[in-house]
Each structure stands twice: as structure tokens, then as C-alpha cells.
Amino acid sequence: MIIIFKLILLLVASSFSAQALSDYVLVNRPESVNDKRYDYAHDLLQMVLDETQDDDSKSVVKHATLIMNRNRLLLSLKEGKELHVVAEAPKTAWVSELHVVRIPIRKGIQGYRLFFINKQDQSKLSALKSFEEFKAIPTGSGKGWSTTRVLREAGFNVVVGNNYEGLFSMLELGRFKTFGRGINEIEAEYLAQKEAHPNLAIDTELMLHIPLPTYFFISPKRPELAKRIERGLWRLIENGKFEAYFLAHHQALIDKFRLKERRRFSIPNPNLSKADPLDNAELWHKF
């Protein structure tokens, strides 16, 4: 009788443990205290989970234990134990091996790229006469980033750094002259990095446009979570909460950086396919 009672307690405890685990949605941990790149996506994911909790359960977004590079992120998502969801631009391996919700969570705004420079180089960029001159200038990008392939195939002179924080030091040391960031990223990154890199500046003249969605990629071990995220995003779009959230985070930046007044260059994105909703105007922000 005692043995049966202990077995019942063990089963109940296991059930509660499994339930507690399912209540967490694990996302990638930022690379440093200054790394704010994923705050918007993680907060939006929590909104999605809150919007759908009546259908499913109350769930909380939680950072993974370890900091992971792009390759490790993919492996961990495939395994579905240490990581469940990552917000990323599409890459071939990610699209083919993971669940992807093809709703651009930043409305493509990160594809409008401004450039970090060293202060003394502003005059050189202001004097550029052609797109070919612009492409010849060494520009920084991260190892495994989708934009690295995009820039290279467009003919840019790309210098690759192994990690996010190191790219700012490489710029300061002159390893490259420009470091492109989405307009959703560049202001927060400047504020976070300017003390450590006092020569850092944001170019005032140029903008590069790349069709560049950010999607939620979900572990293939969690198909029910992928469906929940897609359902929740559409609800937020339909009830207006998504647009309000997007504008609250980006309208001031759009106004500040005078995007319509800049010299604008555009390049294609070879990472995209016919499956990407480029023709669905309500999903993209247009200038």
C-alpha cells in the first residue's frame, strides 16, 4: 500500500513538473547587458502568449541559460530542450529545418539600414558619388548573419566579425569603415556603446534598403507552439494592438533619422522565396 502511495505521489510530481516546464517559452539570451536587439521581439512574444492564454495556458517568456551563437541557436531549436523560439531573418537552413511563422514582426523596418561610422569618416561618406563607391568601402557584418550573405552577393566589401560586441571594437580600430544596423536597432545600440566607443557616430546621409523580414522560428518539437504564435499574431494585427506596439517602438526613430531625406540605395535579398509575403501590404511598413 505504501509503495502504491509513493508511486502516485511520484506521478503527480512528474505531472506538475512537466506542466511547469510547458509554461515557459525559452528564447535566446542576449549576448551582453548592452545587447537590446531582441527586447522588442521577446516582449511581442509575451503579448502573443497573453493574447492566446484563454485558448491554451498562461505562459511566460524566459531566457535560455546559455548565450549561443547562430549555429548553436539552430541546433538548440532543432532539439527543443534549451530553446523554443528565436526571432531571426530567414536563412535557408532555418526555413527548411524549423517551424516558421511568416509574419514580419518588425514590418520589415530592420531592412532600412543606417550605418555606424567613426566621427572622422562622415565627410568621406557625404562625398560619395555613386553606389559602386559605397559598396567598395569596407563594411562590418556578423558571422552567420543573414545580411552578411545579402551584402556579399550585392558586391559589398564585407569584413566579418565573430561576435556582436567585437564588431564595435573592430569599427573603432578601423578594420572597416561602416557597420550597418536596422533603424530599429541603431539608436539603442549607440546609446549603449558610445561610452565604451567615444568616437562612434551614426552617418547622417545614407540608407540602404534590403527586403528583410524578421520571423519567429520555433522548434520542430513544438508544433503546437508555432500554431499558437501564428494565431496570436493575427489576433494582435486584427485588433490593432500589433500596429500600436510597432509604432510605439519605431515612430520616433522614423521621424528622427529623416529617412525620406537620405540618399537611398536598394539591393535584393537572396534569402527570400515565393513563400515570403512580400505582396501583403498590411504586413510591411512603407516610407
Same-fold call for 21-108+212-256 versus 111-209: yes
Helix intervals (H) in the chain: 2-22, 39-51, 70-79, 92-97, 122-126, 131-136, 146-153, 164-172, 186-193, 223-238, 241-256
Residue 135 has pLDDT above 90, yes or no: yes
Q: What is the mean pLDDT of residues 143-149?
A: 92
3-class SS shares of the chain: helix, strand, coil, % to 5: 45, 15, 35
Please report which confidence band the pLDDT of residue 11 belongs to, taking 50, 70 and 90 as the band edges: very low
Domain ranges of the chain: 21-108+212-256, 111-209
Q: Tell me if residue 105 falls in helix, strand or coil.
A: coil
Unique residue bearing C-alpha cell 568616437? 199
pLDDT of residue 22: 53
Please report which confidence band the pLDDT of residue 32 belongs to, taking 50, 70 and 90 as the band edges: confident
At 211-237, the pLDDT tens digits run 999 999 999 999 999 999 999 999 999
Residue 188 CB-half CA count within 13 A: 15
Say what the pTM is. Answer: 0.81
Q: What gap in Å lies between CA 90 and CA 214, rounded to an integer?
A: 7
pLDDT of residue 18: 41
Q: What gap in Å lies between CA 278 and CA 134, rounded to an integer?
A: 27
Q: How many residues does the chain have?
A: 287
Backbone angles phi, psi at 5, to 5 degrees: -60, -40
pLDDT of residue 115: 98
pLDDT of residue 54: 87
Please report which confidence band the pLDDT of residue 57 belongs to, taking 50, 70 and 90 as the band edges: confident
% of the chain surpassing 90 pLDDT: 83
111-209 maps to CATH 3.40.50.300: no
Dihedral sign computed on CA atoms, order 36, 41, 45, 50:
positive
Residue 245 has pLDDT above 90, yes or no: yes
21-108+212-256 maps to CATH 3.40.190.10: yes
Starting from the edge strand earliest in sequence, which strands make up the sheet with 85-88, in order?
A: 60-63, 24-27, 85-88, 215-218, 99-101
% of the chain surpassing 70 pLDDT: 92
Unique residue bearing C-alpha cell 548565450? 67
Mean pLDDT, the chain, integer: 91
Residue 4 has pLDDT above 70, yes or no: no
